[in-house]
Amino acid sequence: MNLIKRWGNDWSRSAPVSLLQARNEWSSPQRRQLVVALQVLAADVNLGYHDWRNWIVDQVNGVPVTDFADFSARLAANTDANVVFENSNGYQMIINHAAALASEEEILSRYQIPALRSSALQWGSAER
């Protein structure tokens, strides 16, 4: 589903400006899809970021994101103490990686989310 449709028939007036601007950009091998944090689910691990919405993630740990599969793979392969999400304006969301992994089950339960990731993005626990 096209994300912009989330704002209804009057999307050109009601959607966030950053998404409207991004809609006019061409896809390229370096950026096939936008990764958008629609809403940060409040938890101790992301304290202070709970009101961030509709935020385009351009980089993970300083590396540009090409699509959602790339974004997901970067999270899975992370070995740094923190994961740094950054947008094109330089705003950063910094999450402690170990704390995030430790809070996964509690967040899934609290927000009644059936799985950590879709079947298209599954990987074995040995790869985490």
How many domains would you assign to the chain?
A: 1
Predicted structure pTM score: 0.82
In a domain, 127, yes or no: no
Ranked by mean pLDDT, the top range of 18-22, 51-55, 91-95 is: 91-95
Residues 6 or more apart in contact with residue 65 via CB below 8 angstroms: 31, 35, 57, 58, 59, 71, 74
In a domain, 126, yes or no: no
In a domain, 76, yes or no: yes
Domain extent for 111:
3-119
Q: What is the CATH number of the domain that holds 85?
A: 3.20.190.20
In a domain, 46, yes or no: yes
Buried b (16+ CB within 10 A) or exposed e, 88-116: eeeeebebebeebeebeeebeeeeeeeee
SS3 49: coil
pLDDT digits (tens, 9 = 90+) for 9-48: 888 888 888 888 887 777 778 888 889 999 999 999 999 9
In a domain, 64, yes or no: yes
In a domain, 91, yes or no: yes
